[in-house]
Amino acid sequence: MSKKINNVAVIGAGTRGYQIALHGAIKGFSVKCTDINAVSLVRADAFVDDYLVEQIANGDLTPEQVKQVRGRIVFVNSLEEAVQEADLVIEAIVEDLEIKRDLFCQLDRLTPPHTILASNSAAIASSNFAAATTRPDQVLNLHFFNPALAVKMAEVVQEAHVSDKTTAAVMAFCEDLDKEAVHVSGGYGGFTVQSGHHQ
């Protein structure tokens, strides 16, 4: 838990997931994204290529910068491969509690002890699945608004089981992403911002 977040894994290659992954790569993080659906991975990979070409055309990134970004983001079929070196895992899968519990149990087995396990969910609190791990103090909600590439805000939810150290590390990660992170502390009664950005 003492090391800085450098390597990020994103679980779920839907629109929210691949945008979180790409944003992380653009901001300098090494990112691996995985999904159980191979078609989703292909689609996400194609989106990254198209988006980066647009960034060159718009003058937002140089060809050399795009090459560097492309080298920092990888789409993989294997959950184990995606998370085995991660400092932070961000789950962005279906809003189903039992599926999330099963996933976080797997993540607990597959990741190094220091790894922070985050859920992008705006509907299911981490207190519902943190106990499926041996590190509940390192399990929390980190919610990015849609589209994650464009919306500056993110929410870091610190429930009673989440350590201050974990929260501080995730807040610092958001700062490195140039996100305006809102620290939501205490009980989980819904997120600070209720808007059309959620879905």
- In this prediction, residue 187 carries a pLDDT of 55
Share of the chain above pLDDT 90, in %: 90
Residue with the larger pLDDT of the pair 194 and 69: 69
Structural contact between residues 148 and 113, judged by C-beta atoms closer than 8 angstroms: no
Containing 10, the helix (H) or strand (E) segment is strand 7-11
The tokens describing 153, both together, are: 């805000």
Q: Domain 7-185 belongs to what topology?
A: Rossmann fold (3.40.50)
Where do the domains of the chain lie? 7-185
**How far is residue 117's CA from residue 88's CA, in Å, rounded to a whole number?**
6
- In this prediction, residue 188 carries a pLDDT of 56
Q: What is the pTM of this model?
A: 0.92
Spatial CA neighbour of 89 closest among 59, 160, 100? 100
Cα separations in angstroms, 102 against 88, 99, 128 = 18, 5, 12
The tokens describing 11, both together, are: 């679980």
Residue 19 neighbours by CB under 8 Å, 6+ apart: 144, 146, 147, 148, 149
Note the pLDDT tens digit of each residue in 17-46. 999 999 999 999 999 999 999 999 999 999
Structural contact between residues 87 and 115, judged by C-beta atoms closer than 8 angstroms: yes
Note the pLDDT tens digit of each residue in 165-179. 999 999 999 999 999
Note the pLDDT tens digit of each residue in 35-84. 999 999 999 999 999 999 999 999 999 999 999 999 999 999 999 999 99
| Whether the predicted pLDDT of 196 surpasses 90 | no
pLDDT-wise least confident of 125-129, 157-161, 187-191: 187-191
Per residue in 45-83, is it b (16+ CB within 10 Å) or e — as a string?
A: beebeebbeebeeeeebeeeebeebeebbbbbeebeebb
| Whether the predicted pLDDT of 189 surpasses 60 | no
Average pLDDT, rounded, for the chain: 93
